[in-house]
A and B are shown apart, each in its own frame.
Chain A
């Protein structure tokens, strides 16, 4: 069975940092693009960014470029989202997504 599990969400003040982790199993992780998607309260899905199979190519939505960094560790079947200089508008449920399946999400709240 495909399993994707996110962790690391929580409450952080504006300007702070948070690192999300995602661990996957049940499929060939090293052959899969991995993507982070978020959903702000009452809003639709928004693509945050993606990383290719080797971790050599990364793509980001304009609003997080320069603040968020995606990385992956294929030995650990894991992908990460380092979020710096967080803003109130980054408040959302963050999902880790692969073609075979998505996680349940982890809530990030940016508030003073």
Chain B
């Protein structure tokens, strides 16, 4: 149902790096800014990134993101057990006139 596609899961050992892709189209990622959210089940989701690559105050520099064409990527370095969560990209779709979250990616720390 979402117009933004993410891998269902990624994993890595503590201290390693993971990247999460978010694939869209010219009417969403290709035209509008992307945000990234972290969601631990049962808790309030948290915005990690806004405007493609900006971190709100309090978000560690271990979280970084970029956008290129119709895709976006979130990177997490120095992976910690506390990073185990679901991660979502999000952006406005100008053709559908609606905001979409990506399909979500579960991060597992091995």
Which A residues are closer than 8 A to B by beta carbons? Answer: 4, 35, 37, 44-47, 50, 59-62, 95, 97, 99-105
Contact = CB atoms under 8 A, between A and B. Distances in A.
B88 A102 contact: no
Interface residues of B, number: 23
Interface of B: 1-2, 37, 39, 43-47, 50, 56, 86, 88, 90, 96-104
A99 B50 contact: yes
Contacts of B104: 44-45
A26 B3 CA distance: 34
Contact of B101 (A45, A102, A104, A105): A45
B45 A102 contact: yes
A34 to B, nearest CB: 13
Nearest to A63: B1
Q: Which 10 A-B pairs have the closest CB atoms?
A: A44-B104, A47-B99, A45-B101, A102-B44, A104-B44, A102-B45, A45-B88, A61-B98, A103-B44, A44-B103
